[in-house]
Amino acid sequence: MTQTQNPRVTFAKNIGFRKELNKRVDDYFKSENLRTRDNPAMYFKSAIILGWVIFSWVFTLFSPPIIALKILGCIMLGVGFAAVGFSVGHDANHGGYSSKKWVNNAIGLTYDFVIGLSSYLWKFRHNYLHHTYTNIPGHDMEIDGDGLVRMYPAMEHKPYHRYQHLVINFAYAIIPFYWSFSDVNLILFKRKYHDYKIPKPTTLQLLTLIGAKFFWLGLYAGIPFILGYSPIEIIVGLSIVNMVYGVIICNIFMLAHVLEPAEFIEPSFPDNVIDDEWAIAQVRTTVDFAPDNKFLDWYLGGLNYQVVHHLYPHVCHIHYPKIAPILAEVCEKYGVQYNVYPTFRGAIAANYGWLKLMGNPPEINSVAPQVL
C-alpha cells in the first residue's frame, strides 16, 4: 500500500527520541505484565458499543410510533456509529485490537457493515497517508478537505472560506453521505487520492467493499421498508443518524490536528526532507486534549490522546493514559514540546479560532487567534 507518484518525503536521522521512548514504553508493559493488544477490557468495551448500536436500531424500529421516540432512536444510533468508528473499528484497522491478523480484519469490517465506510480505502488514506505524512500538505489527505474547508495556511483561499467556522458543522453533517458514494467512485473510477495511487484491491476486497454497501442499505433502508416505514421516513431517519455521526467524528478529528499549536510541516525544497525524525514530527503536528476526562477517554477510544496514538497505533487505546506520562518525560528530556489542551472546551475553542483565521484572506490576517 505504498504506491505513489509523489516525490518521496523523508525524515531526518533519528536522534534517539523514538528509541528511548520505545524502551520506556516496553519496560512499562513488561513491569506491569500487560499485553499491548488482546485485552479483555477492550473486548468488553466492544460488546457494550456494539450492543448500544443493536439496541438503538431495534429501539428505533420497534418503539411506539411517536416522532420524538424515533428521533431519539436515530440520535442514539448516530452516537453509536461514532463510538464504533472511534474505538472498535479504529483499533482493529490499525492492527491494535489483536495480535491475530484475522481478528483485526474481522473486527475492522465493522466500518463496512455497521457504519458504511470502506475499511480498505480507510487503511490506505488514514493508516498510510495520514499517519506517515501527518499535517504535510499534499500528502496527508485528511487535511485536504477537497477544497471545501481551508485547514492550513498554504492551502489556496477561496471566498467561501470566509465563513467556514460558522457553517462547518453543516459540512460535517453531510460528510458520511459523501464518504459512502466517494468510496465507490474512488475504487472503481478515480483510483487515487490526488497523486497517490490507491493499491489495486483483490477480488475479495473489491467484492467486500461493494457488497458491504448493499448490505448496509439493506439493513438500514431495506428492513425499515419491509416493516412498513415510508421512503420519506427512511430517508429522514438515515439523515439524522448520519448527520449526528458526521458532526461528532469530524469535530474530534479536527481537535487533534487543525488548531494551534499543531504544525503544518512543509518539506524542504528540492530534496523533500522533514528536518526532524519521524516520531518528533508526529509530536509537532498533533495535539492531545482533555486527558482527565474519563468519559471522553472511554467514548473516544483514546483519540483525546492523539499524540500517543500516532506514535503507537498498534497498541490498544486503553493503554494510552498510562503511556502519556512516559511520553511527556521523554519529550521534556529531548526538548520537544508535547502539546495538551487540559479541557475539551479549550480544544474546541482553539479549533474554531483556527478555522476562523484560515477563513480570512491571507493578506489581511496572519496573526494567530487567541485561544480561549
Q: What is the pLDDT of residues 78-102, one digit of tens each?
A: 999 999 999 999 999 999 999 999 9
Collapse the DSSP code of 354 into the 3-class scheme (helix H, G, I; strand E, B; otherwise coil) and give the result.
helix
Q: What is the pLDDT of residue 368?
A: 47
Task: Write down the pLDDT at residue 269.
Answer: 80
Exposed, middle or buried by CB within 10 Å (0-12, 13-18, 19+), for 239? middle
pTM of the model: 0.91
Quote the CA–CA distance of 78 and 43 in Å, as a whole number: 21
Closest to 272 in 3D by CA, of 11, 9, 3, 5? 9
What is the rounded distance in angstroms from the CA atom of residue 162 to the CA atom of residue 143? 18
For residue 2, the model assigns a pLDDT of 41
Q: Mean per-residue pLDDT for 120-142?
A: 93
What mean pLDDT do residues 242-262 have?
95
